[in-house]
Structures are given as C-alpha cells and as structure tokens.
Structure 1
Amino acid sequence: MLNPMPKTFVYNPPIDPWLDIIHEDDDIVVFNKPSGLLSVPGKDPALADSLQTRAVARFPGAGTIHRLDKDTSGIIVMAKHKAAHGHIGKQFEYRQTTKFYIARVWGHVAEDEGLIDLPLATDWENKPRQEVNHERGRPSQTRWEVIAREDKATRLKLIPITGRTHQLRVHMKEIGHPILGDEFYATGDALAAADRLQLHAAELGFRHPTGGEPVVFRSEPPF
C-alpha cells in the first residue's frame, strides 16, 4: 500500500545552477532541468519559482511547450516566439518527437525489454497521484529496455509512446519495479534507496522550427 499523501508541501527548489542551458538559438532554448524544480509556476505564490519563471527572466517571451514532473530531471525545450512554439507544439501533439528517459528501478527486471499497456486516470482521492483504471483510464503505453542490472536495482531505458501524467512512474510501479526514490509510488526500501526520484529525460529529438532539420539533444543522468 502506498503512503498517505502529505497534507503539507515544502518547496525548496535547487538554485545552483540557476539555469542549465544546453542549447540556444534564435528560435529555441534547451534546458537541463534539475530534480526538485517545477517546470511551470504553481498558483500559490510560494510555488512561483520554476524553470519557466527563470527562463523568462533571462529570455523574455520564452514559452513552455512541454513539462517534466517536479522531481524528474532532464531535457526541456522552450520556444522564443509564437511561430516556434506552434511548430514544435504540433510535433508533441502528433507524437512526432523522439524521446527517452533513464530510470533506476527497484529489483531485477527479468526480461530484457517489453511493452507496458495500461490505461491511466487521476486518483481523485489522492491527487495528484494517478492510477491504473480500466473503466475510465486513458490509453497509455511505455516501452522499456534493460541497460544494466545492479545489486538491488535495474537501470532502464524508458520510451513513452503516450504522454500521460506520471505515466512512467505508475507503469513501473504496476509491474512491480517502482522507480527508486519515488515519493508518490514507491514504499519501503525502494523509496529509501535514493534521495531523489531516479528518473531523467535523457534525449529529445524534433524538427527545428527554422528549416525543419531534425535535431537531437542529450543529457546524461546525474545518477
């Protein structure tokens, strides 16, 4: 059974580095978001600090196209102007981007690769948690490949086919291998095995808004 959702939320986003920029040109800025930083600001003034807030302070007009969970680190691209936002946004909408994540999960995954196909829906009694729900859940698929097996964990490459909230986190929990350090979906030794969520957006590819050439950006996981 999962731990009860905390009634209070303490937000202490990392400040060093303030912005980790992988790439910048006239159309886009690509960031390496640290774990613990919101992608966009929350409604509460205490949640104002975010990657978007920091980005706009340096690049006025920068717009968020996609997001990562607060505790997930890795690659995020932002658009510098409306045309670039629309160009890349449509690629996300029509699943024309390429991306994968690196995760460390609890236990030894027996097979070398596989596909998880489980519908996801909001767990309304425990928001923002999500749950597998075969009645009202939306279709959700994740491909996975084993990179390495460790003493008590497995390092995986995770390829989301769909992009549901918490998809990778819930899918790994459901197959019995929660992501290490996941405060929402891991318990016991799996939760205690890491001081942060061991999930990192390691690669993102799309067509550049100027010229349409394919570009790929990569970031090594910090774990």
Structure 2
Amino acid sequence: MPPDGFPDLDLDLVPRVLHRDGLVLVIDKPAGLPVHAGPKGGANLEQLFSQLRFGLPRDPALAHRLDKDTSGCLALGRHRKALAKLGKLFSSGRVGKTYWAVVRGEPQAEGGRIEAALAKRDPARGWWMAVDPAGLPSVTDWRVMARGGGLAWIEFTPLTGRTHQIRAHAAHIGLPLLGDPIYGREPVGGARLHLHARALSLPMKQGADPIAVTAPLPAHISATFAAMGWTAGS
C-alpha cells in the first residue's frame, strides 16, 4: 500500500529539482514518502528516479538518506564517480547540513551544542536510537529562531550523521519535535513531524564555492509558522 498522500505514487519530481549539474541533483523531498523501499517493500522515492535522468543513460542514486516524514534537501549522484565523491564528502563530515524544526517546549537558552552518543535502542524494532555512552559519538549544534505558545522554531546543524540524530538529541534536551511519535510520544492522529532539511552545502570542486541549496518549507510546517506569526524568508 503506498503511503498516505501518494495513493498512486503520482508525483512529478522534475519541478522539485532545486539544483542540477553534471554531477549532482538536489531535490526537495516531500514529507511522507520513504526514500527507498524498506524490508517489507512499498512505494518509495527511488521508484521515480527515472524522471531525473535528463539525458543520462542511468537513473541518479541516493547520496544520503532522509527519514520518511522529513522533507527538504536530498542530494543525488548522477553517476558512479559523482556518487563516490559525494560519499566521501558525507562520510568525512564536509557537507554542510541545516535543518529547521518545530519543537514542543520553550528553551531557556538561545542555543548550544548537544554531545551525546547514540546507539540502537532496541535492535528488534529497527532504527530507534537512544542516548548511550557506549554508542557512536554524535554532535548537534542548535539555535532558537523564534518561540512562543509552548513551541519553538529551532535551527539544527548536525556535525555527525547518525540515524534520527536530530530527533533523538532534541528529545534528550527536553525539546521533542512536534509530530514525533517515537521520541516525542505524539498521540495517534496528532501533528505531522515538523522536521525539514532546509539547506545543503556541497564542496564538490576544490577551489570553487560549494553548491549551496535551500528548500522551501512544506505546507504543514508553513501552516504552523503562519499560525505562530513566524517568517521564514525565502
């Protein structure tokens, strides 16, 4: 069964291309659609990559991952050499990643750094993570963009790339993401996850400026911003 909001997987990815060159595509991933098939299969974004060949003989491929319910900047390599280059950039921490989130709670500080190792919480339940001193080192910077009414808009900058890092770290400091049913205990039928991959910076060529890409907010997060009187800019 395809995911909610994509009953026939009828989605045109071409208008969602934010950047395109001979090596890389960056697309605006929609919230609610997995980037690839899980163990049980099912509809996923990779099934649509044939739309994004733009004259090349093969489909582009994922250079990294975003959670099913996370929206925003997703980088694809257009061929093997490009994927290898992107893989090195992501694994070495040279890719700049900026996420916007709405959290429950109003932080006392204006920002900070979260340094808390993460490990699988329960191997039988898949990629659920927990703060664990025996886990992998995980670091996230954060700063408050706006606050009010029991919510806050926070910009997160992950310096490592662990699964569910922002979601787990936000909950760890008492600021679970709005709409997070795993780390935030969101009730059934509650808000959708408010986590958006706002920007990517990809230093693809030595001596050249990085590729800098920004993704617009999805409708459900835009609606929350409007209700709170927050202005996101372009």
Question: Counterparts of 1:51 and 1:188 in 2: how far apart (Å)?
Answer: 25
Aligned length: 210
Question: Counterparts of 1:80 and 1:211 in 2: how far apart (Å)?
Answer: 22
| Equivalent position of 1:6 in the other structure | none
* Distance change >3 Å, CA 211–CA 18, structure 1 → 2: farther
1:11 aligns with 2:3: yes
| Equivalent position of 2:101 in the other structure | 103
SS in structure 1 opposite 2:88? helix
Question: Counterparts of 1:121 and 1:78 in 2: how far apart (Å)?
Answer: 27
SS in structure 1 opposite 2:89? helix
| Equivalent position of 1:220 in the other structure | 216
Cα offset, 1:12, TM superposition? 3.0
Question: Counterparts of 1:221 and 1:193 in 2: how far apart (Å)?
Answer: 19
Question: Counterparts of 1:16 and 1:157 in 2: how far apart (Å)?
Answer: 32
Partner AA of 1:90 in structure 2: K
Partner AA of 1:171 in structure 2: H
| Equivalent position of 1:63 in the other structure | 61
1:154 aligns with 2:148: no
Equivalent in 37, 42, 46 of residue 38 of structure 2: 42
SS in structure 2 opposite 1:204? strand
Question: Counterparts of 2:78 and 2:98 in 1: how far apart (Å)?
Answer: 24
Q: Residues 107 and 177 of structure 1 are in contact (CA less than 8 Å); yes or no, is this contact kept in structure 2?
A: yes
TM-score, normalisation: structure 2: 0.82
Q: Residues 108 and 149 of structure 1 are in contact (CA less than 8 Å); yes or no, is this contact kept in structure 2?
A: yes
Partner AA of 1:217 in structure 2: V
| Equivalent position of 1:163 in the other structure | 161
**Cα-to-partner distance string for 1:72-131 (whole Å, 9 max, x where unaligned):** 111011011111111122111111111110000001011001111111000125432111
1:204 aligns with 2:204: no
Cα offset, 1:57, TM superposition? 4.8
* Distance change >3 Å, CA 218–CA 11, structure 1 → 2: same
Cα offset, 1:25, TM superposition? 2.3
Question: Counterparts of 2:131 and 2:169 in 1: how far apart (Å)?
Answer: 8
Equivalent in 25, 37, 56 of residue 29 of structure 1: 25
Cα offset, 1:209, TM superposition? 5.3
TM-score, normalisation: structure 1: 0.86
Partner AA of 2:126 in structure 1: K
| Equivalent position of 1:90 in the other structure | 88
Cα offset, 1:54, TM superposition? 0.9
In structure 2, stretches of 5+ residues that fail to align are 222-234
Partner AA of 1:11 in structure 2: P
| Equivalent position of 1:4 in the other structure | none
Equivalent in 163, 177, 180 of residue 179 of structure 1: 177
Question: Counterparts of 1:192 and 1:117 in 2: how far apart (Å)?
Answer: 32
SS in structure 1 opposite 2:182? coil
TM-align CA RMSD: 2.2
In structure 1, stretches of 5+ residues that fail to align are 1-8
